[in-house]
Amino acid sequence: MESRPVRIGIIGAGFVGSALAELLSDSSRAQALADAATAPVELVGVAVRDASRTRPGVPSDLVTDDFDELLSRDLDVLVEVVGGIEPAKGFIERALRAKVSVVTANKALLAAHGYELSQLANENSVDLFYEAAVAGGIPILRALRSSLAGEQILRVMGIVNGTTNFILSKMSNEGLDYADVLAQAQALGFAEADPTADVEGFDPAAKIAILSSLAFGTKLEGDEIAREGISGIRSVDVEFARRSGYVIKLLGIAERIGDSGLSRRVHPTLVPKEHPLASVNGAMNAVFVDGAKSGPLMWLGQGAGGEPTATAVLGDVLDAARNRVSDRHDIPFTYDNRLHLVDEGELRSAFYISIDVDDEPGVLAAVANIFAEQGVSILSMEQSGEGAEARMSFVTHEARTESVRATIHALSDLPKVERVGACLRVLAGGL
């Protein structure tokens, strides 16, 4: 069987685009790619802003600075690795309307406009795939779309931001403070000069929006995700967690609540040391899925980096190519929105609360009284430090989030309390 080659174009030649161009141009892999795609695969062009710059791995005769000219090269699949909302969105829309399948790694765009883009792909009978948008090289989206398509998912939970996991791991392993580790991460290129998107949880929130849409059929467009970052975490919190058998991880969570509820949130969490997510260190990512029948499943891998991400993009390219060869496309996931968003204040969880207090008698009585007034029951308490450094650390029994917030509020008003340091959820034990 001799098939017409499947023609691939790339827009964007950063780390991922260059690594992908190199994979697609590697003649020693051509046969393996053709086997997987059921037809030869040919890179026919790479569109960039400045065509005069040379890029390692990118054949210079394929480079153009004119997107329309690239689109006119009779493409089967366009790979978008430009990032950001515009002009990426415009490029993708024009490609889909031209009946070109699109593979993208653009989580921000998908979290904001994924639903409308999926519809547009379907109307034009082409594919829109985006495996690399969540957890880099980990093939979690295809597993949700395909292997677990018949499963009732109860919870999807993950470490899906490498920067914050790097920072938290380093704080935990080396006892360093947040600001120092952030500065190191910035120097090493693991954190941006403006780290807000990572450390305040915007990036993992976009990924949870995408995971939630596939796992729970929620509409992928401007999804609201409750969000807390890691910038308020101190080394004393990390140390307390360690002594108590936990590690602090920034988790993204989407979970079914009761029959028809759904909660989606990103927050730092005390994870029990025995939990598989606890040992996911450095820039690694992991996604944990609880299925009604499958039980717990976890995927672990590189969350970022040009080559791992390019591998995930390549998996999508081959999928789209196979579909082109057999003249079909995947039906986009149905967004039935059967579940309603549960108010986060209603959720129950155990909490770790750390407060800086005046070092004088009677403080514990005053503080304990406030917990009691809000109906928040204390599991354990530890006093540490002296003088200006005096602290109390509490772990509560499971309590309503709203009640814990009211407790925090009342504690802040207490004259003997200098400030409330951390208020972090504790993940329930076991798998």
Of 347, 354, 323, 337, residue with least CA distance to 399: 347
The Cβ of residue 31 has, within 10 Å, a number of other Cβ atoms equal to 10
Give min distance, CB of 299 to a copy of itself, in A: 6
Spell out the long-range contacts of 117-125 with Cβ–Cβ below 8 A and sequence spacing 24 or more. Answer: 117/89, 117/92, 117/93, 118/220, 118/332, 118/333, 119/332, 120/93, 120/96, 121/96, 121/329, 121/332, 122/329, 122/331, 122/332, 124/96, 124/97, 124/99, 125/99, 125/329
Of 24, 120, 56, residue with least CA distance to 316: 24
Q: Which is nearer to a copy of itself, 54 or 334 (CB)?
A: 334
Is residue 230 at the binding interface for a copy of itself, with CB under 8 A as the rule?
Answer: no
Give min distance, CB of 319 to a copy of itself, in A: 7
Is residue 36 at the binding interface for a copy of itself, with CB under 8 A as the rule?
Answer: yes
Q: What does the DSSP assignment read for 40-103?
A: -EEEEEEE-S-TTS--TTS-GGGEES-HHHHHTTT-SEEEE---SSTTHHHHHHHHHHTT-EEE
Distance CA 367, CA 414 (A): 8
Is residue 5 at the binding interface for a copy of itself, with CB under 8 A as the rule?
Answer: no
Give min distance, CB of 354 to a copy of itself, in A: 28
CA 140 from centroid of its chain's CA atoms = 11
Give min distance, CB of 386 to a copy of itself, in A: 36
Of residues 83-102, which lie at the interface with a copy of itself (CB under 8 A)? none
* DSSP for residue 230: S
Is residue 318 at the binding interface for a copy of itself, with CB under 8 A as the rule?
Answer: yes
Interface with a copy of itself (CB under 8 A), residue from 193, 331, 365, 388 = 331
Q: Tell me the helix, strand and coil percentages in the chain, rounded to 5.
A: 40, 25, 35
Q: What is the CA radius of gyration of the chain?
A: 24
* DSSP for residue 283: T
Distance CA 55, CA 63 (A): 10
Distance CA 279, CA 266 (A): 19
Q: What does the DSSP assignment read for 105-148?
A: --HHHHHHHHHHHHHHHHHTT--EE-GGGSSTT--HHHIIIIIT
Residue 399 contacts residue 424 (beta carbons within 8 Å): no
**From 3-11, 98-106, 107-115, 306-314, span contacting a copy of itself (CB under 8 A):** 306-314
Q: Which is nearer to a copy of itself, 52 or 334 (CB)?
A: 334
CA 14 from centroid of its chain's CA atoms = 20
Is residue 27 at the binding interface for a copy of itself, with CB under 8 A as the rule?
Answer: no
Is residue 405 at the binding interface for a copy of itself, with CB under 8 A as the rule?
Answer: no
> Residues 241-280 vs a copy of itself: string with x where CB under 8 A?
---------------------------------x-x--xx
> Residues 364-403 vs a copy of itself: string with x where CB under 8 A?
----------------------------------------
Is residue 310 at the binding interface for a copy of itself, with CB under 8 A as the rule?
Answer: yes
Q: Which is nearer to a copy of itself, 171 or 312 (CB)?
A: 312
Interface with a copy of itself (CB under 8 A), residue from 298, 342, 406, 410 = 298
Catalytic residue chosen out of the listed positions 170, 207, 219, 416: 207
Is residue 125 at the binding interface for a copy of itself, with CB under 8 A as the rule?
Answer: no
**From 75-83, 193-201, 302-310, 408-416, span contacting a copy of itself (CB under 8 A):** 302-310
**From 75-83, 89-97, 138-146, 225-233, span contacting a copy of itself (CB under 8 A):** 138-146
Interface with a copy of itself (CB under 8 A), residue from 60, 147, 196, 412 = 147
**From 246-254, 309-317, 362-370, 394-402, span contacting a copy of itself (CB under 8 A):** 309-317
207 tagged catalytic: yes
Residue 164 contacts residue 199 (beta carbons within 8 Å): yes
Judged by CB under 8 A, how many residues of this single chain contact a copy of itself? 51
Interface with a copy of itself (CB under 8 A), residue from 185, 253, 314, 426 = 314
Of 352, 364, 353, 354, residue with least CA distance to 416: 364
Is residue 146 at the binding interface for a copy of itself, with CB under 8 A as the rule?
Answer: yes
Q: Which is nearer to a copy of itself, 29 or 55 (CB)?
A: 29
Distance CA 356, CA 372 (A): 19
Catalytic residue numbers read 207
Footprint of a copy of itself on this chain (CB under 8 A)? 19, 23, 29, 32-33, 35-36, 38, 131, 137-139, 142-143, 146-152, 274, 276, 279-280, 291, 293-302, 305, 307-308, 310-312, 314-315, 317-319, 326, 328, 331, 334
